[in-house]
């Protein structure tokens, strides 16, 4: 299992929460976080039913950070060679601990295993924090998409090539429920 750790965790001695696949029961929390952290001023399009559909979609990777509480999440659609990182958010109480970076690293490792060549992400052109975050991870500007957010606001599209870069290392162990009897 991917263990999320931070300097804060190490200093406090607290047990790090895992990154795991999103469960159907996470859909309402993820939808609310999307509404409050991402979709502010745009209307609410990632409602619980849409999030639930993404969780159940075999071409979508929906992951969360946290045991019983969703501290952060990432939803990415996988196509033949392109992944689209649709949503990434970390609860304000858990920011600046590396959770967003860990979620993206886990997603990128999964995308590379799936054979994807690139990952695309869009963010509001005014979201300087997101731009800096993705640039630090190696994403490059690919252009502005006018009216991307329901005609209300434009987006900056950024792209990361998975074939020409070293990606952050992620170790993964299948959850106990996935292991066969001989593995227990």
Active-site residue identified among 39, 94, 134, 149: 134
CA Rg value for the chain:
16
Active-site residue identified among 80, 122, 149, 153: 122
Is position 94 annotated as part of the catalytic site?
A: no
Both structure tokens of 144: 């502005």
CA distance from start to end of the chain: 15
Is position 169 annotated as part of the catalytic site?
A: no
| DSSP H stretches of helix in 21-65 | 27-33, 48-56
Tell me the sheet residues that pair with 124. 155
Cβ proximity of 132 and 103 under 8 Å: no
Task: Give the SS3 label for residue 5.
Answer: coil
What are the catalytic residues? 122, 134
């Amino acid at each position: 299992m991917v263990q999320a750790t931070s300097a804060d965790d190490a200093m406090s001695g607290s047990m790090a929460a895992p990154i795991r696949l999103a469960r159907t029961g996470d859909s309402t929390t993820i939808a609310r976080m999307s509404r409050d952290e991402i979709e502010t001023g745009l209307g609410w399009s990632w409602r619980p039913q849409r999030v639930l559909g993404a969780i159940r979609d075999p071409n979508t990777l929906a992951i969360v950070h946290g045991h019983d509480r969703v501290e952060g999440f990432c939803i990415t659609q996988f196509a033949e060679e392109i992944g689209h990182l649709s949503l990434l958010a970390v609860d304000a109480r858990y920011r600046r601990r590396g959770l967003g970076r860990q979620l993206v690293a886990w997603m990128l490792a999964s995308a590379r295993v799936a054979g994807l060549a690139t990952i695309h992400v869009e963010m509001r052109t005014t979201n300087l924090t997101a731009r800096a975050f993705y640039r630090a991870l190696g994403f490059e500007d690919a252009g502005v998409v006018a009216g991307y957010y329901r005609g209300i606001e434009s987006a900056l599209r950024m792209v990361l090539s998975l074939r020409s870069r070293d990606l952050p290392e992620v170790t993964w162990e299948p959850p106990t429920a996935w292991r066969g009897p001989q593995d227990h």
